Amino acid sequence: MRMLKVLALGLLVALTLVPMAGAQGGTWVSSFNVINLSNDEATVEITFYDEAGEDYTPACLGWSGTPAHCDLTNPFTLAGGAKKEINLPTLAAADLPDGRYSVVISADQPVAAISSLLGDDGGKFYAASYTGMEDLAQTKMYLPGVMWSFYAWYSHFSIQNLTGATQNVDIYIYDEGLNTVCWSELDHAIPPYSSYHLDLEAKNLAACDKIPDWDSDGVAYNGSAKIEGEAPIAVIDNQTTKPTECSGCHLEQAYNGVASGTAEVYLPDLYRGFASGYIQPPGWNSSINIQNVGAASVAVTVTLFSSPAVVVTKNLPANAGWLIYLPVDVPTLPTKMWETYGAKIESDGEIVALANAATPFARSQAMTYSGIASGGAKVAVPVLWHEYYGWNTSLVIQNLGNDDLIPHICYSPNANPYGTPWGGACYDLPAAYKIPQGASRMIYQGDGEMYLCLGTGGTWNPTSHTCTGGQTIPTTYLGGATVTIASGSGPIAAVANATHDKNQATPGKGDWSMSYNGINP
């Protein structure tokens, strides 16, 4: 099999019954979804690497039934536009022992992947998701939002070696809001295709805290980091709260490191009081982390697209980070109960950014994603759910162009073998819901999906959430989508959010929300 493309998932993709270090307690399991971005059939092969560099290529990627039978061989074929979920707990222990792994996905057609993690700490849950990363020869990666004892949050770096030879990496963490290195770890050796997992809770970063805040214990670091390798690397920052520091809360979020800075960065999905009447006042609120990765100070302008737009500015030293919490630092931004904000960050240098969103600790919901540098004419979204074991998703599309935009959305067939058969559907977003310049539109896959109903000629009943004469996504849906431009110049960018609606709304269940970046092929 001649593989033309390798997509590396740069994190701990299998944590079957394995406790994580430090704040990330309990036992953890993972799954990941692979989507074929081409119109042609792809042959896909999955290889796992443990922390010592030993590789595993199981012949079967999932067993079920009694007697057990293999549901998915390895390699496997994937039709054009189709997707497949690999749920690690269904692998045989003899093929993949309990442990912590990184993954390489090889295919003879372009593919994309999303990984999800779920932790169980005595019935209190953590959930996060992140996007698979390609080997684009990146030897540096930046993390604009690194936390240590920040309102009980701690970062956990996973650094994957994307080569077939052992390489050394250097890790630099910068003083809060400044450009000086306050902590470092140099020349850490990582075996071929394996990952090194650095739990910052086990380190002392108290000296890095330079900006006063309201944290009760007086130490709260929220800064930035740079990781350098001798060869290509991929980096994820998986962040969780420590329950003993926040009255038993369980929160988790994960985001991709960024390989290089750009003069512009976009954030498709930001909240100010979102769902405050449903979740718990004040609902979902967002923060933004921006890092200057250049060698000189830069002027940064953040535009939040409202009516009118709201703008904040700051001069940022080289390598320094800037934290913006919308309710406090942008108090003039209006509350939006069921709408999201798009943002554009501009500089006269090179910056990277990420967006966080969270609800109050009593509800313990949090998610994050990396800022998007340029967008494109097409976005792939490998994972979307409608009542998939209680999970629903929202797809958020941002218009990065200078004119109004109407996206064209194509859902893949239902990939849930136990769900309602459905061949997928394509539609244009109705003109009444076009996306203005810089703005975003949230498309919710729960409640049958109103825009799909309207876009395929149906009539939507907002009271009963039912569609007449059109199409909606069936319950039990596990699929993906590709988004292109029907009208407007573009480009476009997207993120997807997932929530388990029942557990999200129930105090004490832990974090049942996650977010990940769409992929511009």
**Does the residue 274 lie in any domain?**
yes
What one-letter code names the amino acid at 200? L
Residues 384 and 358 occupy one common structural domain: no
Q: What's the average model confidence in pLDDT over 2-13?
A: 50
Within this chain, do residues 399 and 420 fall inside the same structural domain, yes or no? yes
Q: What is the pLDDT of residue 14?
A: 45
368 and 398 assigned to the same domain: no
Q: Indicate if 292 and 364 belong to the same structural domain.
A: yes
- The total of other beta-carbon atoms located within 10 Å of residue 459's CB is 11
Average pLDDT over residues 379-401: 94
Range of the domain at 306: 261-373
Would you say residue 440 lies in a domain?
A: yes
Q: Is residue 319 part of a domain?
A: yes
255, part of any domain? no
Looking at residues 250-275, what average pLDDT do you find?
93
> Does 339 share its domain with 361?
yes
pLDDT of residue 1: 36
Comparing 411 with 210, the larger pLDDT belongs to 411
> What was the pLDDT predicted at 215?
55
- Same domain? For 275 and 306 the reply is yes
**pLDDT band (50, 70, 90) for residue 15:** very low
Q: Quick one: 321 and 409 in the same domain?
A: no
What is the CATH classification number for the domain harbouring 283?
Answer: 2.60.290.11
| Contact indicator for 280, 363 with CB cutoff of 8 Å | yes
431-426-520 Cα angle (round to 5): 90
**Could you tell me if residue 202 is inside a domain?**
no
pLDDT of residue 337: 86
Indicate whether 296 belongs to any domain: yes
Choose the final residue of a domain: 319, 344, 373.
373
Tokens representing residue 140 in the block = 């540096």
How many domains is the chain partitioned into structurally?
2
pLDDT band at 7; cut points 50, 70, 90: low
Does 291 map to a domain?
yes
Distance in angstroms (rounded) separating the CA atoms of residues 442 and 236: 26
Mean per-residue pLDDT, 211-233: 83
420 shares a domain with 363: no
pLDDT at 100 > cutoff 90: no
d(CA 333, CA 422): 41
Residue 457: CB atoms within 10 A of its CB come to 10
DSSP assignment of 140-206: EEEEEEEEEEETTEEEEEEEEE-SSS-EEEEEEEEPTTSSSEEEEEEEEEE-TT-EEEEEGGGS--G
- Model pTM greater than 0.85? yes
Instruction: Decide if pLDDT at 400 tops 90.
Output: yes
**Which of 339, 357, 373 delimits the end of a domain?**
373
Residue 17: pLDDT band by 50, 70, 90 thresholds?
very low
Mean pLDDT of 335-364: 89
Q: What's at 146, amino acid-wise?
A: V
Mean pLDDT confidence for 210-233: 83
Q: Which of 349, 373, 397 is the last residue of a domain?
A: 373
Same domain, 385 and 513: yes
At 483 the pLDDT is 96
Binned at pLDDT 50, 70 and 90, residue 89 comes out as: confident
Q: Is 384 in the same domain as 503? A: yes
Q: Which of 111-115, 203-207, 371-375, 466-470 has the lowest mean pLDDT?
A: 111-115
Q: Are residues 385 and 349 in the same domain?
A: no
Cα–Cα distance list, 78 to 34, 36, 38, 514 (Å): 9, 7, 10, 26
- Residue among 99, 14, 85, 98 nearest 44 (CA): 85
3-state secondary structure of 83: strand
234 φ/ψ angles, rounded to the nearest 5 degrees? -130, 145
Range with lowest mean pLDDT among 66-75, 145-154, 272-281, 447-456: 272-281
Q: Is the pLDDT of residue 214 over 60?
A: no
**Residue from 357, 376, 374, 373 nearest 365 by CA:** 357
Q: In this prediction, what percent of the chain has a pLDDT beyond 90?
A: 62
Mean pLDDT for the chain overall: 89
Judge whether 169 and 217 are in contact, CB under 8 Å.
no
Q: Over the stretch 432-444, which tens digit does the pLDDT of each residue have?
A: 999 999 999 999 9
pLDDT recorded at residue 219: 79
- Residue 216: band (very low, low, confident or very high) from pLDDT cuts 50, 70, 90: low
In a domain, 62, yes or no: no
**pLDDT exceeding 70 applies to what percent of the chain?**
93
Residues 392 and 497 in one domain: yes
